């Protein structure tokens, strides 16, 4: 047994003159390599991926699929097919599910579409709704006939909303 000069404890294993614990804390530095997925030079976690890519590949995607099954009752195959990419702009990093008929119990493939957060927000915003619906029709989706045209909200404001919104202060 030798005594580690760093921590002054007895060491069973000695590496580069210090105990194994001190070696791991003070001397050993992880090798930097290029991540297979993001192509950035970082510490590699496992299987050639950095920490962030490893987590997103093996954990986050599985959690999203299990949540879709648990909370939305959407089968895994349909969920993966729908969230492949945004049908409007083609963005594939973050994709949300949108029910075309706004019925969350209708999980048929014809009713579900994948939208990026930007296009999804625009779809629910009355100023951009018509534009997004036109793009969906061009892509071959059946949009609901109940969507409200541009002038609907301006002309059909309830008196109480109109009173509060346009009251003089």
% residues pLDDT > 90 (the chain):
25
- C-alpha span between 7 and 76 (Å, rounded): 53
Higher pLDDT, 38 or 153: 38
pTM strictly above 0.85: no
Domain boundaries, the chain: 31-59, 72-155
Positive/negative CA dihedral, 124, 125, 126, 128: negative
Answer yes or no: is pLDDT of 98 > 80: yes
Whether 79 contacts 97, CB under 8 Å: yes
Higher pLDDT, 31 or 155: 31
Q: Poorest-confidence range of 76-80, 84-88, 132-136?
A: 76-80
Do strands 10-11 and 14-15 pair parallel, antiparallel, or not at all (unpaired)? unpaired
pLDDT tens track for 13-59: 788 889 988 988 888 888 899 999 999 999 888 889 999 899 888 88
Residue 140 DSSP label:
T
pLDDT value of position 108: 87
Whether 7 contacts 13, CB under 8 Å: no
Helix or strand (DSSP H, E) at 11: strand 10-11
């Amino acid at each position: 047994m030798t005594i580690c000069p760093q921590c002054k404890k007895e060491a069973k294993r000695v590496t580069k003159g210090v105990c194994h614990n001190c070696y791991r804390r003070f001397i050993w530095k992880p090798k930097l390599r290029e991540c297979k997925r993001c192509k950035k030079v970082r510490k590699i976690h496992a299987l050639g991926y950095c920490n962030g890519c490893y987590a997103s590949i093996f954990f986050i995607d599985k959690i999203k699929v299990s949540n879709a099954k648990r909370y939305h009752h959407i089968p895994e195959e349909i969920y993966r097919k729908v969230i492949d990419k945004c049908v409007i702009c083609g963005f594939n990093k973050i994709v949300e599910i949108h029910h075309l008929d706004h019925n969350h119990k209708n999980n048929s493939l014809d009713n579900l579409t994948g939208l990026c957060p930007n296009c999804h927000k625009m779809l629910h915003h009355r100023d951009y709704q018509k534009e997004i619906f036109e793009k969906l029709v061009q892509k071959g989706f059946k949009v609901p006939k109940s969507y409200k045209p541009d002038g609907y909200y301006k002309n059909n404001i309830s008196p109480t909303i109109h009173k509060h919104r346009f009251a003089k202060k």
